[in-house]
Structure 1
């Protein structure tokens, strides 16, 4: 596409910041519109593999990424009650070479800060909550709740599972509560009594699971997240303050190593877990979706963030390589939908690395080099000029 194509990115999460950075590097004028008034260090941890490292390499962020988070020695799966090791994936030099990059645990807010580094000053416009998208000739008119307006040639909806961009092009459809809550806690590692915990462990029980891992290279900050049964959620999808005693009680039958980690929690936040039924309509006209806006997945494979960052790499390449939005978006969806469908299916099954698992297809994936020239069925893009 012409490098004068004006691109609006709606949402400054991991997906939005990554695609903005990659598109600016490709020479496009990009503005990012974020509804929050500012960024702060809230949130939780995130697990990312070599498939993400290879994208961040294109933004000259890979070394900072690996140095800011922790490169764990392994991913462990253990039985909730007995502590039996169910699976272990070592992350030694040989494994990193095989996957093509490091495996890193990091606080989301720390990664968020890193992803802002490549952006030109003034790229992010805070306090801009989208309210409308109107087609005007070959351009788009964007309107915002604060009264501001903007024009763009392409709009990228990267505004999460409750995407306003999605609603504007596909209609209103509420996310699906899956009957699980996710209490989360971030705290100093010094609060854990006894021996240090392992670098990264998923604890499995028949009706629940927990992730516990360090997020910093000196192992001084710990993240614990559980997925617990919950019959209903009456809120709007926002997190609520959790009860520490109730959180700890959920681990009464757990192995002592897991209980020690849970008992160290101070403040607990409880998030409802939502997803969406699969919908392969990811674009309409000059508007395209990415990340949770088009393929929200359950967090049971720890792959949602990875998939969103992969989206950014593929979408930015398609925009740069193909001559018009219809062609670019068609190639983007043809490349991404099959892979995301696999991720969604595994996440629903909650089977990832519970036992012996083939992981090369996931961590070894390189969104920066995968071919983009797959054939496009006429049904997906009837107006495509061949």
Structure 2
């Protein structure tokens, strides 16, 4: 073990990258291990509320994210059949004034690129698939598929719903099928011009048992994106997603408003994804290993806050480690869980229930939250 205390992060996704940047800024030595062979513009659209944009401010990427993405003035909820408005949630300048930062919708790959740039490449290791780890009480040894090894003082598991570190801590267990799927597709902005519809910057179409969330992913509005939620008895494929024809998707949205039908008509490369979940964990850390994001609290994407919770986790974990120092990592882990579990669980519950902003409600408890101003609760009281 080096005389310099070292932190290893497994997973360079949105939560892992956030933790890495903030820990580096706090003066810690951090290595990040990502199983992907290189960075790529993966994923599709994503929402970043004011609660997250305040974290990006601390990371130094808020302005870049806000400039690249779309900043809707409202979140609209509309009846999927009639098109009637069910809620109009103020965003835009109201969000900046009321919650302290803008609300941005953006392509996940563009957002991730800003995070990776802030992290830098010196300590970011690609093509590192974790196959085994061992915590001997004095440090953690990580073994990767390419035969390399790394030893760290503590390890942060930001490796998603199929987390290898979660498996190490609690044993192997397959994610559970929620009984829902999502359709995803990007649409070129030019393809919308032939229609008479408003194609609002941020709108969710609802009926009793399914929905479609639609929004722009760029300030230029040259890319529109939709993601759905539809009941589906069981995911019958061995892959993470499968192609979906327009005809199949139209069956799932039969009777929906003509604006929704138009979106399906012009969508390119529609894919269909399963939505999985896991049971809540009894603890988020054991020994020198701690989890964040989907590794410890995966949720349905119906609230547009899943990635936000991983980013908030990363920021809170960095804050707690800065508070205690790495030599007292156990106290930091306890503080972290004590100050994250209640909020993450509440968001998980609302997201899984799929009720967020369906009717006119006050979103301040989510958007107004500032993780750096939140008083740290003593972990012994959790």
Question: Do these two structures clear the TM 0.5 threshold for a shared fold by scoring above it?
Answer: yes
Give the match for residue 304 of structure 1. Answer: 306
Give the match for residue 141 of structure 1.
Answer: 141
CA distance in 2, matches of 1:80, 1:374: 46
Give 2:353's aligned residue: 349
Alignment match, 2:39:
39
1:1-386 correspondence runs (5 A): 4-192=4-192, 193-195=194-196, 196-236=198-238, 238-323=240-325, 324-377=328-381
Distance 1:136 1:172 in 2: 20
1:290, 1:312 within 8 Å by CA — same for their partners in 2?
Answer: yes
Q: Distance in 2 between matches of 1:375 and 1:291?
A: 19
Q: State how far apart, in whole Å, the 2-side matches of 1:236 and 1:4 are.
A: 43
Q: Output the CA distance in 2 between the equivalents of 1:65 and 1:280.
A: 35
- Tell me how far apart the structure 2 counterparts of residues 243 and 5 of structure 1 sit (CA, whole Å): 52
Distance of 1:259 and 1:94 partners within structure 2: 32
SS at match of 1:216: coil
Q: Any idea what the Cα deviations from partners look like across 1:186-209, whole Å, max 9, x if unmatched?
A: 121211231340001000011110
> Using the alignment, how far apart are the partners of 2:181 and 2:296 within structure 1?
22
SS at match of 1:355: coil
Shift in Å, 1:358:
2.2
1:76-110 residue CA offsets vs partner (Å, 9 max, x unmatched):
00000000100011223233211110000001001
Q: Offset at 1:176? A: 1.4
> Structure 1 unaligned runs (5+)?
381-386
The secondary structure found in structure 2 opposite 1:259 is helix
Q: Is the 8 A contact 1:99 1:364 kept in 2?
A: yes
**What value does the CA root-mean-square deviation take over the aligned residues?**
1.5
Q: Decide whether aligned partners of structure 1 residues 237 and 154 sit closer, same or farther in structure 2, where only a CA change above 3 A counts.
A: farther
Contact kept in structure 2, 1:197 and 1:261, CA below 8 Å:
no
Bigger drift between 58-67 and 113-122 goes to 113-122
Deviation at 1:286, TM superposition (A): 0.4
Q: Which runs of 5+ in 2 are unaligned?
A: none
User: How high is the TM-score relative to the length of structure 1?
Assistant: 0.94
C-alpha distance in structure 2 between counterparts of 1:302 and 1:365, whole Å: 15
Question: Is the Cα–Cα contact under 8 Å of residues 160 and 294 in structure 2 kept in the other structure?
Answer: yes
- Is the Cα contact below 8 Å between 1:319 and 1:328 reproduced in 2? yes
Whether the 8 Å contact between 2:71 and 2:92 is mirrored in structure 1 is no
Contact 1:244–1:266 (CA under 8 A) maintained in structure 2: no
Farther off after superposition, 97-106 or 320-329: 320-329
